[in-house]
Chains A and B, each alone.
Chain A
Amino acid sequence: MSCYEADRLDRLAYLDSPAHRLDPRAKLLATLAFIAAVVSFPKYEVSALAPFVFFPLLLAAAGNVPLRLIARRVAIVSPFAVMIGLFNPLLDRAPGLVVGPVSISAGWLSFASILARFALTMSSVLVLTATTSFPSLCQGLTALRVPRAFVVQLLFLYRYLFLLAEESGRLRRARDLRGLGARGRTLRVAAAALGVLFTRTLDRAERIYQAMTARGFDGTIRQLRTLRFRGADALFLAGVAGGAVVLRLLPVTAWIGSLGAGR
């Protein structure tokens, strides 16, 4: 778990750009439509997934999101999907695609398809996070009828996430200094550190509660900014969702290939 990258992603979300100015609801729904389209392809489909790369790419371009950050994060979280996917070439050896003398087994095709889906769905979510500040995303969730108690929970979690990560970093450093690095990392010491972290967290929550009660907290968090779903947002949402449907249902990639071959 790298809080450093999450922190970078979080800072990016407060920049200003055309992508950042879009309504959070529009971006969230567009991302969901995009993911649904990508995931709904049959398991052996690879080439038709290619044009989908333009959604995260263009949104990242409009939002000044460094691609390297996204790519690195996607690579870091890939092991589970890769591990499960790698069984496909081993188990499914039926011939899949024959191009001249080269034959690719169906298992490799479905594996490639899993990898492509993985890269597309993960990068689209990361770009969404990098172009939408968390409070405004939560505001969008409230407007989309997500239970208020859950949205308040998300906002509190976000508010203290980086703070507690630093606290835990200090505990870790202290332990490693006293325990000569790896020799001190026993279960017993870790459990004690976790216990300290937990009680400190409880105390912090108590202080927060008293401070917020003193300021009139009644269980809901109010935000000054109101959401406005403008024409541009509707256009963006319709464009992405419509594009996803078209790419899902029509063989666009094959047409591009035909054009490219000069016919």
Chain B
Amino acid sequence: MHMADALLSPAVGAGCWALSGSVLAYCAGRTRKALDDHKVPLMGVLGAFVFAAQMINFTIPGTGSSGHIGGGLLLAILLGPHAAFLTIASVLTVQSLFFADGGLLALGANIFNLGAFPCFVGGPIFRAIAGTSPATGRRTAAAVVASVVGLEAGAMAVAVQTLLSGRSELTFVPFAALMGGIHLPIGIIEGLVTAAVLGYVLKVRPHLAGQAFGTAAEPSGTRRGVAPVLAFLLVAALLGGVVVARFASTRPDGLEWSIGRLTGSPELRDPDRGLSARLAEIQRRTAVLPDYALPAKDTEGSGHAARPDAGQQTSLAGILGALLTLALAGLLGLVMTRRRGQPSAR
């Protein structure tokens, strides 16, 4: 459920970046203080482990389709929330760079959705249910509940971010139902596999149980460390929700709104000022056909009220221009491919 750049508005993307960035800085500070150098290579190699673990596929019971584990909850349990958050954030960064899973603008949202929830919600839930030295059944139940709650919270966050961005026509309830429905079985499977892996690992490496169940003396108390982050996330989510919701409902487009604030006019292309006016005049004179404006779409209340001005206008000239541009680009691509012959990585 990686969020994509294409579904985000700049305001929502930047907001999530600020949120994840501050949690990241907090966790980086805490791991630096609390952990010895010992854990530095461990966290790095475990990040690589997540990729390797995702290659171990299995058949999902009852469906016959193939799946793999996400690994977030496993790290949250075995590494503690702060180190696990840093590790998952690094995994998502590499995924966005090397695999194009999610995007750079969406990376903040993805770190929040797939990192913060397993670490600061899933992990504590697991610890609360599992207790200090649980039997297999209780451990499995704890992992399943923790995994489902963490994943569903992330899925809801995806729905909220998409809704606030206003790129999709889906309304909240069907989207949330869709995302929630898809991620329920995924969460259950993830919980089952996590519990099984945990069972194996603790059998062969019993000393890890201290970290997993919170019985060991922590360097400076990871339990204490979760509360401030949880409180921060809650306050930030509420604040962000209120601010962004108001922002989104009155200003469908953050950039245009801020341009309006800067220039004192709602649109830079306001047709009676300066350079853009003259350019617009040229455009009017040279246009093949008069502009075909998009009819003002009236979806009152959804935040995309009628915008009658140049902002949404498209024209035949625009279409023609796009086609010409793409033809030129295609030609360039063809020349590049031809020049290199068989493209190879060498």
Contacts between the two chains (Cβ within 8 Å), count: 404
Q: A10-B98, A42-B253, A263-B288 are in contact. Are A153 and B47 (CB under 8 A)?
A: yes
Residues of A contacting B325 in the complex (Cβ-Cβ under 8 angstroms) = 50-51, 53-54, 253, 256
Q: Chain B residues with Cβ under 8 A from A68's Cβ?
A: 337, 343
A261 to B: closest C-beta gap in Å: 4
Partner of A118, one of B6, B101, B168: B6
Q: Could you tell me which residues of chain A, from 43 to 64, have a CB within 8 Å of some CB in chain B?
A: 43-51, 53-54, 57-58, 60-61, 64
Seen from chain A, the residues whose Cβ lies within 8 Å of a Cβ on chain B are 1-3, 5-6, 8-12, 15, 31-32, 35-36, 38-40, 42-51, 53-54, 57-58, 60-61, 64, 66-69, 73-74, 77, 80-81, 84-85, 87-88, 90-92, 94-99, 106-107, 109-110, 113-115, 117-118, 121-122, 125-126, 128-129, 134, 137, 147-150, 152-161, 163-165, 167-169, 171-172, 182, 185-199, 201-202, 204-206, 208-209, 212-213, 217-219, 248-261, 263
Report yes or no: A53 in contact with B94, Cβ–Cβ below 8 A. no
Tell which of B1, B45, B86, B295 touches A95, judged by Cβ atoms closer than 8 Å: B295
Nearest residue, chain A, Cβ from B324: A260
14 A–B contacts, CB within 8 A, in A order: A11-B346, A47-B314, A49-B322, A67-B337, A114-B6, A121-B105, A122-B4, A150-B24, A152-B44, A194-B200, A199-B205, A254-B315, A255-B282, A258-B321
| Majority secondary structure of chain A interface residues (helix, strand, loop or mixed) | helix
A129 and B284 CA atoms in complex are apart in Å by 42
B125 beta carbon closer than 8 Å to chain A: no
Q: Which B residues are in CB contact (< 8 Å) with A205? A: 41-42, 44-46
Q: Is the CB of B343 within 8 A of A66?
A: yes
Write out the residue numbers on chain A whose beta carbons fall within 8 Å of the beta carbon of B255. 36, 40, 248
Rounded to whole angstroms, the CA-CA distance of A99 and B49 in the bound complex is 54
Question: Could you say which residues of chain A place their CB within 8 Å of the CB of B333?
Answer: 57, 67
B254 close to chain A: CB less than 8 A: yes
B168/A1 in contact, CB under 8 A: no
Report the bound CA distance from A128 to B103 in whole Å: 12
B235 interface residue (CB < 8 Å to A): no
Contact A1 B318 (CB under 8 A): no
Q: Report whether B201 and A195 are in contact in the complex, using a CB–CB cutoff of 8 Å.
A: yes
Q: Given A57-B333, A255-B321, is A44 in contact with B312 using a C-beta cutoff of 8 Å?
A: yes
A163, B55: Cβ atoms closer than 8 Å: no
Among B46, B68, B69, B87, the most chain A Cβ lie within 10 Å of the Cβ of B46
Contact B322 A73 (CB under 8 A): no
Q: Which B residues lie within 8 Å of A31 (CB)?
A: 104
Residues of B261-288 whose CB lies within 8 A of A: 268-269, 276, 279-280, 282-283, 285-288
Q: Are A121 and B5 in contact (CB under 8 A)?
A: yes
Known: A57-B329, A60-B336, A249-B268. A81 touches B49 (CB 8 A): no
How long is the Cα–Cα vector from A53 to B326 in the complex, in angstroms? Answer: 8
When C-beta atoms are compared, the residue in chain A nearest to B71 turns out to be: A194
Interface residues of B (CB under 8 A from A): 1-2, 4-10, 13, 24-25, 28-29, 31-32, 37-38, 40-49, 51-59, 61, 66, 68-69, 74, 86-87, 89-91, 93-94, 96-101, 103-105, 162, 166-170, 189, 192-193, 196-197, 199-201, 204-205, 252-256, 259, 268-269, 276, 279-280, 282-283, 285-288, 292, 294-295, 297, 304, 307, 310-312, 314-326, 329, 332-333, 336-337, 340, 343-346
A156 touches B104 (CB 8 A): no
Q: Decide if B345 touches A167 in the complex (CB within 8 Å).
A: no
Contacts of A121 in B (CB 8 A): 4-6, 103-105
Question: What is the distance, in angstroms, from B76's C-beta to the closest C-beta of chain A?
Answer: 14
Check B45 against A204 for contact (C-beta < 8 Å): yes
Tell me which residues across on chain A come within 8 A of B279, comparing CB atoms: 250-251, 255
CB contacts (< 8 Å) of A85 on chain B: these are: 6-7, 168
Residues of A contacting B4 with CB < 8 Å?
A: 80-81, 118, 121-122
In the assembled complex, the CB of B188 is this many whole angstroms from the nearest CB of chain A, namely: 11
For residue B304, which residues in chain A have a CB less than 8 angstroms away from its CB? 43
CB closest residue in chain A, given B98: A6
A255 to B5, CA, bound (A): 28
Contact between chains at B322 and A253 (CB < 8 Å): yes
The smallest beta-carbon distance between B111 and chain A, in angstroms, is: 11
